[in-house]
Structure 1
Amino acid sequence: MMVQRKAKKMHESKQSAGLLDRAGKLIEHARKAGADKADAVVVRRRSGSVSVRNGKVENTEASESDDFSLRVFVGQRVATVSAGQGVDEASLAERAVAMARVSPEDEHARLADADLLAENWPELDLFDPSEPGSVELADAARAMEAAALAVKGVQSSIGAGASAGLYGLVLATSHGFAGSFERSGFSRSVSVIAGEGTRMERDYDFDSRVFFGDLDDAQSIGRSAGERAARRVNPRKVPTGANITVVFDPRAARGFIGHMVGAINGASVARKSSFLKDRMGEQISVAGLTLLDDPFIARGSASRPFDGEGVSTGPLTMVENGVLRQWYLASPVAHELGLVTNGRASRGGGGVSPSSTNVVVSPGEVSPQDLIRSVGTGFYVTELIGQGVNQLTGEYSRGASGFWIENGEIAFPVSEVTIASNMRDMFMRMTLADDIDRKYSIAAPTIAVEGMTLAGD
């Protein structure tokens, strides 16, 4: 069971506590300058990274910032101003209010309703104080690269990198919310080339975690990247065909599910730019698919104890057995749609917009191996290329690479093909495997989609 803590008693770093105090002062200055209501956000970022190629350090970077953003409301007129750490709070507030007074009215602009603001939230174990230095990051990058280059068939390195960082959010509002949280992040990645001449192929592998100790070891990441690249050498052409079953490996499937997540974002619905805009309460996918959005996963890569408006709402079932149940909502978009926010607001560019957190797709009941065997003949996708997705119409057309499936087995590598269909049909023709990996912000299994068109030779 998660431990609940009162907002004012939640543990905060000394720096975050100081920033929260400054955010509160910004609110006070805004009210004195004539704002009817306001909120102040400080986004904290700390990062360090090292990139390596051929065993030598190519680049070392370090950065840190505390970016202040004040949003003020004068009636239904709103303005946002941003500044860095040394800002004069009174002057910033006066400028924001002056801007708001000459801005056009926005009938949907608003703070979250006071009765929705969080008074307590779960402890999610999101901060690891580990601080690997540049030497340690470089050693990990070298180890990944060396492991990848040791794989038979791998010819050269594109590069390897390791990073460590921090994201923090401090939020105060004029109607009673004050809170902050920090989330650490660590990553490792490597990319290599296998084969020779015109038969060269590239691939990569990576890992990203909230806690340093949870990262996959550098040698394993490197070896996986090398093996992925070596398997792709000497790809063949395949003929153009219709009614092809395409199997998306988990890496490609995460992107595919991401298109569903984008289509049920309330902002897209309000703009009428989503092909699912009129489908609430209807079957939009196979009955076996349930899509859960859960910001409360301990150590989750997209977890947060409260959203960008101070609302703390736990897991939401967005799609239940194929039926669309929710849009992703923040208060302005929710008001435009005649609804109430469901705690999925994020901050960016001074404004508020809805976004997903940790997305978990319900697993199927068949292993990836059995799913491939059931396909007989088809195409197993490991990489997608290009941005050929139309969220307004649902049309889907992407360049792809992967492997041909014959007699239910992976037969040979394939590259330079295009797969196409419409996502309305794709969502209804999915078969889900059981290989969910929950370490990513979108946890999706291997997915087979029937009835696609493949453009090859």
Structure 2
Amino acid sequence: MAQTLEQLAEIMLDAAKAAGAETADAMVMRGTSVSIDVREGKLEQAERSEGVDLGLRVLIGQRQANVSISDTRAESIAVMAERAVAMAKEAPEDPYVGLADRDQLARGLDIAGLELCDPTDEPAAASLQEDAMIAEAAAKAVNGVSQVQSATGGYSSSEVFLAASNGFAAGYARSSRGIYATAIAGEGDAMERDYDGDSRIFQNDLRDAAEIGTSAGQRAVERLNARKPETGSYPVVFDERISSSLIGHVLAAANGGMVARGSSWLRDKLGQQVLPDGLSLIEDPKRARVSGSRPFDAEGLPTARRAIIDNGVLTGWTLDLATARKLGMASTGNAARGISSPPSPSSWNVSLTQGDRSRAELIKDMGTGLLVTSMIGSTISPTTGDYSRGAAGFWVENGEIAYPVNECTIAGNLHDMMMSIVPANDARTYLSRVVPSLLIPGMTLAGN
């Protein structure tokens, strides 16, 4: 009879104790993923993977070690624990490592209320293939599309269970269903490529496959005959598709690990204004049907809604237990970990305050400038916030989109950029990062 994830976690903890660990935590993950690719109306590739992974962290004093395996036999788990303990004895001391105290642990979990897993049956491979073929056909039907590079239907489900010697034991399941298409327009050296896709927890929430394919094709065609823009200082609108990358830089700089290392451009900004008045960056790990939701973190602490930035002011760092101890603070319940790695701070769902104008209105107000719809490469200093990235999109003249542009670079400093952002009202509220299009009134643009 197959063992449950909870039973496997308990076997690991028992093995760790028998091997000489003072404290330990165990993580078990069981997952399934299916991916179907089509090309030219035919099946091109079908992949399916299934597996169970076990991760064990043992602590001896202030030393720790992590070991992972994919073998669920009791004798293999015993060897795993012995190796972990041997490694921990040789590891350097870290005064900040350690499990949570019992009174810190999450209790009264409402996992069902988060709706992280679609209870319906796994979709058949034929259904995934049909979605991919519909998306491909829709993209090819767009006038100007020369080929469809890829069209994919995918599904994944996973279960995770965490148990620790401090008494914590809980787990949950999650699922994901996706459709993606990448279209190419033009021929030879004049080809342009773009994509669209959607990923949801629940099948019924997924966008229509034909809509996704059509959008991918139209986006590719719109990029044909691109030019290099003029060099100079111009306003820049980051389209909603890529604006969350800017907020990603803020989240990285507010990560306690970066702050503790002194390598964050926000390290001296706690309690200071880092966004314009009226804008807040809210983390909410309890949003239902959202992929970034978590009922508890990787150390068994409760997750909770918090303001990372409140009315423009940076209120705190993103912390796990070890980083919090190092900074003399309390964990924010943001520990994340993989099967083979110790906990580290990570952000969950975040939302930036939306504005009261549409993207079109921001473009109209900017006059002449750049609408960025895609970016490649980056030269970003995490310490100073100096920012430089390759960009492509559309040149705007007199408040109207004039022509597509590519092969340009946009540059600035993240602190100055974030202090001047103007948000639109077009964020997709079902995403884990809810960030609208963002106007930055002035950036350095290198083109012709």
Q: TM-score, normalised by structure 1?
A: 0.94
Instruction: Work out which of the residue numbers 356, 362, 370 in structure 2 matches 1:371.
Output: 362
Q: Deviations over 1:220-259 (max 9, x none)?
A: 00011111111111112221012x1000110110111111
- Give the match for residue 301 of structure 1: 291
Using the TM superposition, give the Cα deviation of residue 29 of structure 1 relative to its aligned residue in structure 2, in angstroms. 2.3
What does 1:117-128 correspond to in 2, within 5 Å? 117-122=105-110, 123-128=113-118
Q: Deviations over 1:426-453 (max 9, x none)?
A: 0011001111212222110010002100
- Give the match for residue 177 of structure 1: 168
- Give the match for residue 325 of structure 1: 315
3-state DSSP of counterpart to 1:282: coil
Using the TM superposition, give the Cα deviation of residue 212 of structure 1 relative to its aligned residue in structure 2, in angstroms. 1.3
Question: Using the alignment, how far apart are the partners of 2:330 and 2:10 within structure 1?
Answer: 26
Instruction: Work out which of the residue numbers 181, 191, 194 in structure 2 matches 1:190.
Output: 181
- Give the match for residue 36 of structure 1: 22
Unaligned runs of 5+ in 2: none
Using the TM superposition, give the Cα deviation of residue 213 of structure 1 relative to its aligned residue in structure 2, in angstroms. 1.4
RMSD of the alignment, in Å?
A: 1.4
2:292 matched to 1:337?
A: no
Question: Using the alignment, how far apart are the partners of 1:76 and 1:236 within structure 2?
Answer: 58
Instruction: Work out which of the residue numbers 357, 382, 398 in structure 2 matches 1:391.
Output: 382
* Aligned partners of 1:288 and 1:364 also within 8 Å: no
- Give the match for residue 49 of structure 2: 63
Counterpart AA for 2:58: V
Post-superposition, which runs of at least 4 consecutive aligned residues in structure 1 deviate over 6 A? Answer: none
State which drifts further: 267-276 or 213-222.
267-276
- Give the match for residue 3 of structure 1: none
- Give the match for residue 136 of structure 1: 127
Question: Using the alignment, how far apart are the partners of 2:194 and 2:428 within structure 1?
Answer: 20
State which drifts further: 142-151 or 98-107.
98-107
- Give the match for residue 151 of structure 1: 142
Counterpart AA for 1:111: L
Question: Using the alignment, how far apart are the partners of 1:83 and 1:103 within structure 2?
Answer: 20
Q: TM-score, normalised by structure 2?
A: 0.96
What does 1:152-301 correspond to in 2, within 5 Å? 152-242=143-233, 244-301=234-291
2:13 matched to 1:47?
A: no
Counterpart AA for 2:299: E
Q: Deviations over 1:355-394 (max 9, x none)?
A: 1111111101212121111111110010011122221221
Question: Using the alignment, how far apart are the partners of 1:441 and 1:456 within structure 2?
Answer: 33
Equivalences, count: 442
3-state DSSP of counterpart to 1:31: helix
* Aligned partners of 1:281 and 1:325 also within 8 Å: yes
Counterpart AA for 1:232: R
Question: Using the alignment, how far apart are the partners of 2:87 and 2:361 within structure 1?
Answer: 61
* Aligned partners of 1:373 and 1:409 also within 8 Å: yes
2:319 matched to 1:354?
A: no
Question: Using the alignment, how far apart are the partners of 1:233 and 1:103 within structure 2?
Answer: 56
Counterpart AA for 2:337: R
State which drifts further: 30-39 or 292-301.
30-39
What does 1:377-416 correspond to in 2, within 5 Å? 377-416=368-407
2:3 matched to 1:22?
A: no
Question: Using the alignment, how far apart are the partners of 1:109 and 1:167 within structure 2?
Answer: 28
